[in-house]
Amino acid sequence: MKLVHKVMDFEVGQADEATRTFWAVASSPTVDRQGDLIEPTGWDFANFLKNPVIPWAHDYASPPVARALAVKVDKGRLLFKAQFPTAEEYAFADTIYRLYKGGYLRAFSVGFAPLESEVATHAVGDRSLTGTRYTKQELYEISCVTLPANPEALVALGLGSPRPTPTPAATTTPFPARTPGTPGAAHPKAARALAQAALGELVMARLRYHLGLLN
């Protein structure tokens, strides 16, 4: 079963400085740029709530930057309550918290396994988009991310040789062998993993620079 990542724009509620928490409320079900739609009533949170960690940019190899104290669906909206560590516990996580609180970050990305879905065509403005309508899905994780972007573009810009982000064993798919005569060919999933890792490393490098942590 594949793992799907979808960047969602959330409205971040008023932060409680004492507990370092805030509610994040996803927009009502709308069609995204790929023509996909996630039905909020189809979320299954049971397994996620057993280990509700919130990573940065789907980086499963690093410590999480927050945790979800509660997740629910209310009036057609996906909601969760995030709690962040203190600066003494994890300085990087504190920076992420401050960026959300200040409005510099507002996006989260949900990683989920589709359980039931169908092909659907939606009218978006003056366009017609055909994509996937997810009617039932299991939430694997929620990640803090920057504003929605095209991660494949990072590879085209030549951002070094990033390390691929580890993927949960349940969603790992063996990459097929490269076709002889095409030494540079790579599986699309490998390209996406490399691009996502590059995105996370780029943002973290910029944050370290602004914090004065780079030599």
Whole-number pLDDT of residue 98: 95
Full-model pTM: 0.66
Centre a 10 Å sphere on the Cβ of residue 182 and count the other Cβ atoms it contains: 8
Give the list of residues 6+ apart from residue 92 with CB closer than 8 angstroms, or none.
Answer: 56, 65, 204, 207
Q: Is residue 20 part of a domain?
A: yes
If you average pLDDT over residues 188-203, what whole number do you get? 56
Whole-number pLDDT of residue 165: 42
Q: Is residue 176 part of a domain?
A: no
Q: Is residue 182 part of a domain?
A: no
Q: Is residue 211 part of a domain?
A: no
Containing structural domain, residue 67 = 4-150
Q: Is residue 156 part of a domain?
A: no
Can you say whether the dihedral through the CA atoms of 134, 135, 138, 144 is positive or negative? Answer: positive
Q: Is residue 201 part of a domain?
A: no
- Min mean pLDDT across 71-75, 88-92, 127-131, 157-161 is at 157-161
What integer best gives the mean pLDDT of the chain?
A: 76
Residue 8: pLDDT band (50, 70, 90) is confident
Q: Is residue 161 part of a domain?
A: no
Q: Is residue 79 part of a domain?
A: yes
- Looking at the structure of the chain, the number of domains it has is 1
Give the list of residues 6+ apart from residue 31 with CB closer than 8 angstroms, or none.
Answer: 37, 122, 124, 129, 131
Write the pLDDT tens digit of every residue in 22-39: 999 876 677 887 888 889
Cβ atoms 107, 145 nearer than 8 A:
yes
